Amino acid sequence: MKILVTGAAGFIGSHAAEKLHQEGLEVIGADNFSGYYDVALKERNAEVLRDKGIPVHKIDLREVQEYEALEPDFDFIIHFAAQPGISASSSFQDYFSNNVLATQNLLEFARKNKDLKHFFNIATSSIYGLEATFPETIAPKPASWYGVTKLTGEQLVLAESRSGKLKASSLRLFSVYGPRERPEKLYTKLIACAFKDEKFPIFKGSEKHLRSFTYVWDIVDGIYKAVERYQDLDGEIINLGAEEEHKTGEGIALVEELLGKKIQLEVVPRRAGDQYRTLANIQKAKKILGYEPKTSFREGLQKQITWYMENFL
C-alpha cells in the first residue's frame, strides 16, 4: 500500500509518517517547508524520515504545477498540511490559501489516483469553536480564521464523499503535544523558557483554560487505526484525543515539577478566538476504531522534556 502524507515535515505529520512506515506501508511525504517557524526544525524532521527510507518532497500544495513531482498512484492520502494555530502574524490570506485552496488542489490531484481507497483530512477541535466538548454531530461554531478555514477545508473533502467522487473522512484532533511540537506552542516554548531562564508569555486568563492534552503517539495510533478501518469511514467525522482535561496552569506546574525549576511568567493580552475548553468526546472513535489513548499526562510531558534536552541542549 502506498500512502501520501502531506505536511510530513511538521509536528504530527512526521510522527504519522514514521508510524505508517513502521507498519509496512510505502510512505511518501510532501511539505512546503514554510517559514511560519524555523525551517531548520522541519528539515531536521525530514532528515529523520529520510534516514528511515521515507522520501519527503518539497511541494507547495497551493501551486498546481508542483503536483507533477508526484505520481498519481496512491492508495491513501493523509492531509496534514495547513496554516496552523491562531497567530497575529498570519493573515486571512495565509489561512485561506493553505487551508482551503491547497486542500481543493489536493482533492483534484486525489481524483487522478485511480486506485485511491481513501482520503483522510486532518482537522482540528478549533472547528467546534470556543468550547470543544461535543460529539461530531454538533453544529460547528469556529471563532478564528484558523477554525473557519479548517472547517471549510473539511467540508470540501466531505463534499467529495457526498458526491461519490472520492471515499473520504475527517479526523478532528484535540490539543496535541509531545516531541517535535512547534516552537511557539505551549510546552515546547515553556520548556525552552525554563532552560534559557526566560519569561514565558502567558495569555491573560489562559492558565484557567481547560485542555484535552493528548500525547502525539496516541493521536498517531488513532490515525493508523483509521487507515486500517478505512472501509467503515467514508463520509465520517471522527474526534481523536484524550478524555481527561487539565487546566493550562496544571500543565505549567507539572513541567516545573518535572524540571525541578520555577518558570517565570509574563502575562500578555488575551488572544482573540482562543478556546477556553477542549475535551475530546471519543465515543464514536472507540466504537468504530477501538481507539483508546494510553499515555498519561505526566508520562507524555516527561517524554517531551527528554526530547527537548536531547535535541536542544
Catalytic residues: 146
What is the b/e burial string over 256-276, where b = at least 16 CB atoms within 10 angstroms of the residue's CB?
eebbeeebeeeeeeebebebe
**Dihedral angle sign, alpha carbons of residues 284, 288, 292, 293:** negative
3-state secondary structure labels for all residues of the chain: CEEEEECCCCHHHHHHHHHHHHCCCEEEEEECCCCCCCHHHHHHHHHHHHHCCCCEEECCCCCHHHHHHCCCCCCEEEECCCCCCCCCCCCHHHHHHHHHHHHHHHHHHHHCCCCCCEEEEEEEHHHCCCEECCCCCCCCCCCCHHHHHHHHHHHHHHHHHHCCCCCEEEEEECCEECCCCCCCCHHHHHHHHHHHCCCEEEECCHHHCEECCEEHHHHHHHHHHHHHCHHHCCCCEEEECCCCCEEHHHHHHHHHHHHCCCCCEEEECCCCCCCCEECCCCHHHHHHHCCCCCCCHHHHHHHHHHHHHHHHC
Cell numbers found for residue 283: 465515543
Distances, alpha carbon 99 to alpha carbons 152, 175, 261, 303, in Å: 8, 19, 39, 30
Cβ proximity of 163 and 211 under 8 Å: no
